[in-house]
């Protein structure tokens, strides 16, 4: 049996893709998975149990890396032990077998694999990973380097050489030193690959790092069908669209609802389209168009005083009570019926490849703009209209109702937009047209044949 020890703290963004990567492994051995969780306050544990009901859970109060691994091993049964970080995603179906192949030599105590940066990984961390984890296999007789984000080792060796339970860092290299001194070998296996979104070193010279990374990307980076770096695959994520449908504004709602639902239903990345309504007739209509309406939102969340963030937070909580855990939330509002056909998919991809908390549709604004304090006659200039447009820094105008992709942890903070934002510039400015009244609807009807075939 092979026992996998996964250490986690607030890793809900990564835990299901990690477990799905494990589930894809083609190996003859039985596999057990132990999650050692350091009091996560997000949905890491719930998502893990929901995806893999048989997972063993070990909860720790204080994180000491070596102690966390040891605690997981103590409840395990395997003769071969694997340590994998919860934010590492096995890249191939033979990842586990590639690690295991090295243990035909009884003098091999441990094997660690390659860590590949994701597209969203920043340049400093890309450089770290590329420098450290190359393409050549190494048999280490003197070098004690070892890395527990992606490693396998023998249980009988661990029983004599457990991980240091006092060290706050580099428990793996401490263990490696002890193993080498005991006469064992360590192997670096580059074919056992995982995707890892951050690096292992620190640096302050970002410009120098960027220059190095650009060169290394061309020379050593793994190629993919979609680009230089593999993003986190969307088919390993549960992407859920939220479409609020507040009743009470006449037939205008029904005429607009189908357009937004259609865009979301036909998205290649969105798995479920959840309409957030308080009305049974709207529920029936939305479901006839392919949406899912598993609950009705309370009437108080349709009052003028209700904030959108409250509606989203409530809805996410209701889904999670049903053991449905979205990995990405895509918001779209019905007042934008002319949104571009692939906009929602592009926002999901932008969220994953740019390393942001929220990807939002928007456009660049070069015209003069001011802000005015409430109950004041004073205007504060936001732009620099005095310099040529080519030299001017544009304002970024966000249109979250047109399209906005974010993570559940942002919604749970009673927010829609996180701290790190990526604005995706819409290609067709007509898509920003808002339909809020009958007059707007008349103008929309003149344009809709360009956007919809039904």
- Give 40-52 pLDDT, tens digit per residue: 999 999 999 999 9
Of the pLDDT bands very low, low, confident and very high (cuts 50, 70, 90), residue 200 is: low
Q: Cβ(324)–Cβ(317) under 8 Å? A: no
Q: Residue 137 pLDDT > 90, yes or no?
A: yes
Of the pLDDT bands very low, low, confident and very high (cuts 50, 70, 90), residue 393 is: confident
Cα–Cα distance measured from residue 237 to residue 269, given in angstroms and rounded to the nearest whole number? 9
Of the pLDDT bands very low, low, confident and very high (cuts 50, 70, 90), residue 294 is: very high
More confident residue, 250 or 366: 366
Report the pLDDT value the prediction gives residue 445, as an integer from 0 to 100: 76
Q: What is the mean pLDDT of the chain?
A: 86
Q: Cβ(289)–Cβ(265) under 8 Å? A: yes
More confident residue, 143 or 377: 143
User: What φ, ψ does residue 231 adopt, rounded to 5°?
Assistant: -75, 170
Q: Residue 26 pLDDT > 50, yes or no?
A: yes
More confident residue, 116 or 392: 116
Of the pLDDT bands very low, low, confident and very high (cuts 50, 70, 90), residue 451 is: low
Report the pLDDT value the prediction gives residue 392, as an integer from 0 to 100: 76
Write b or e for each residue in 2-34: b if 16 or more Cβ atoms lie within 10 A of its Cβ, otherwise e: bbbbbbbbbbbbbbbbbbbbbeebeeeeeebbb
Question: Regarding the domain delimited by 2-220, which CATH topology (the fold level of the hierarchy) does it fall under?
Answer: Spore Coat Polysaccharide Biosynthesis Protein SpsA; Chain A (3.90.550)
The 3-state secondary structure of the chain reads: CEEEEEEECCCCCCHHHHHHHHHCCCCCCCEEEEEEECCCCCCHHHHHHHHCCCCEEEECCCCCHHHHHHHHHHCCCCCEEEEEECCEEECCCCHHHHHHHHHHCCCEEEEEEEEEECCCCCHHHHHHHHHHCCCCCEEECCCCCCCCCEEEEEHHHHHHCCCCCCCCCCHHHHHHHHHHHCCCEEEEEEEEEEEECCCCCCCCCHHHHHHHHHHHHHHHCCCCCCCCCCCCCHHHCCEEEEEEECCCCCCHHHHHHHHHHHHHHCCCCCCEEEEEECCHHHHHHHHHCCCECCCCCCHHHHCCCCCHHHHHHHHHHHHHHCCCCCCEEEECCCCCCCCCCCHHHHHHHHHHHCCCCEEEEEEEECCCCEEECCCCCCEEECCCCCCCHHHCCCEEEECCCCCEEECHHHHHCCCCCCCCEEEEECCCHHHHCCCCCHHHHHHHHHHHHHCCCC
Sign of CA dihedral 133, 135, 138, 142: negative
- Tokens 């703009």 belong to 369
Report the pLDDT value the prediction gives residue 11, as an integer from 0 to 100: 92
Structure tokens belonging to residue 208: 């120098």
Q: Residue 175 pLDDT > 50, yes or no?
A: yes
Q: What is the pLDDT of residues 77-130, one digit of tens each?
A: 999 999 999 999 999 999 999 999 999 999 999 999 999 988 778 888 888 888
Best CA proximity match to 26, nearest among 94, 106, 79, 103: 94
Q: Residue 250 pLDDT > 70, yes or no?
A: no
Two domains, one topology: 2-220 and 237-450: yes
Kindly report the number of other CB atoms within 10 A of residue 62's CB atom. 8
Q: What is the pLDDT of residues 215-236, one digit of tens each?
A: 555 545 554 443 444 555 667 8
Q: Which residues pair with 196 in a beta bridge?
A: 88, 117
> What are the structural domain ranges in the chain?
2-220, 237-450
Of the pLDDT bands very low, low, confident and very high (cuts 50, 70, 90), residue 194 is: very high
Cα–Cα distance measured from residue 129 to residue 10, given in angstroms and rounded to the nearest whole number? 23
- How far from chain centre, in Å, is Cα 97? 26
Q: Residue 204 pLDDT > 60, yes or no?
A: no
Q: Cβ(7)–Cβ(36) under 8 Å? A: yes
* pTM of the complete model: 0.79
Q: Residue 388 pLDDT > 60, yes or no?
A: yes
| Domain 237-450 class, CATH top level | alpha beta
Report the pLDDT value the prediction gives residue 228, as an integer from 0 to 100: 41
Cα–Cα distance measured from residue 324 to residue 240, given in angstroms and rounded to the nearest whole number? 10
Q: Which residues pair with 396 in a beta bridge?
A: 364
Cα–Cα distance measured from residue 51 to residue 57, given in angstroms and rounded to the nearest whole number? 13
**Percent of the chain whose predicted confidence (pLDDT) is above 90:** 57
Report the pLDDT value the prediction gives residue 202, as an integer from 0 to 100: 47
Q: How deeply is 217 buried, as exposed, middle or buried, from its count of CB atoms within 10 A (0-12, 13-18, 19+)? A: middle
Report the pLDDT value the prediction gives residue 437, as an integer from 0 to 100: 78
Which residues contact residue 6 at a Cβ distance below 8 angstroms, ignoring those fewer than 6 apart? 15, 18, 33, 34, 35, 36, 72, 84, 85, 86
Q: Cβ(353)–Cβ(120) under 8 Å? A: yes
Cα–Cα distance measured from residue 57 to residue 382, given in angstroms and rounded to the nearest whole number? 52
């Amino acid at each position: 049996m092979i026992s996998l020890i996964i250490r986690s703290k607030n890793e809900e963004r990564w835990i299901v893709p990690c477990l799905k990567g494990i589930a894809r492994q083609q190996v003859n051995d039985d596999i057990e998975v132990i999650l050692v969780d350091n009091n996560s306050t997000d949905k890491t544990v719930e998502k893990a149990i929901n995806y893999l009901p048989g997972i063993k859970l070990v909860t720790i109060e204080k994180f000491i890396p070596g102690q966390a691994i040891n605690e997981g091993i103590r409840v395990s049964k395997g003769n071969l032990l694997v340590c994998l970080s919860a934010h590492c995603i096995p890249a191939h179906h033979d990842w586990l077998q590639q690690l295991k192949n090295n243990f035909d030599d009884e003098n091999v105590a441990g094997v660690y694999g390659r860590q590949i940066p994701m597209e969203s990984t920043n340049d400093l961390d890309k450089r770290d990973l590329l420098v450290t984890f190359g393409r050549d296999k190494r048999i280490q007789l003197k070098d004690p380097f070892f890395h527990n984000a992606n490693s396998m080792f023998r249980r009988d060796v661990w029983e004599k050489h457990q991980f240091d339970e006092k060290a706050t860092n580099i428990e793996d290299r401490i263990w490696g030193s002890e193993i080498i001194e005991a006469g064992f070998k360590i192997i670096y296996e580059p074919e056992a690959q995982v995707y890892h979104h951050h690096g292992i070193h620190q640096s302050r010279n970002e410009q120098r790092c960027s220059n190095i990374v650009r060169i290394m990307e061309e020379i050593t980076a793994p190629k993919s069908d979609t680009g230089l770096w593999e993003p986190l695959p969307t088919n390993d994520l549960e992407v859920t669209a939220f479409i609020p449908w507040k009743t009470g504004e006449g037939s205008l709602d029904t005429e607009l609802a189908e357009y937004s639902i259609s865009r979301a239903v036909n998205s290649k990345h969105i798995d479920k389209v959840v309409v957030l309504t308080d009305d049974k007739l709207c529920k029936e209509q939305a479901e006839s168009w392919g949406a899912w309406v598993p609950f009705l939102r309370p009437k108080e969340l349709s009052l003028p005083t209700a904030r959108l963030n409250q509606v989203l937070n409530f809805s996410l909580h209701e889904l999670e009570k049903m053991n449905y855990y979205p990995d990405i939330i895509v918001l779209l509002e019905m007042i934008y019926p002319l949104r571009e056909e692939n906009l929602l998919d592009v926002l999901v991809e932008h969220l994953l490849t740019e390393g942001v908390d929220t990807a939002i549709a928007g456009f660049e604004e070069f015209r003069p703009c001011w802000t005015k304090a409430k109950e004041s006659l004073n205007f504060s200039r936001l732009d620099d209209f005095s310099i040529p447009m080519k030299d001017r820094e544009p304002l970024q105008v966000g249109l979250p109702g047109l399209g906005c992709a974010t993570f559940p942890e942002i919604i749970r903070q009673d927010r829609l937009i996180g701290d790190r934002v990526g604005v995706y510039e819409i290609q067709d400015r007509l898509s920003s047209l808002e339909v809020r009244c009958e007059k707007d609807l008349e103008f929309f009807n003149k344009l809709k044949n360009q956007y919809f075939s039904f």
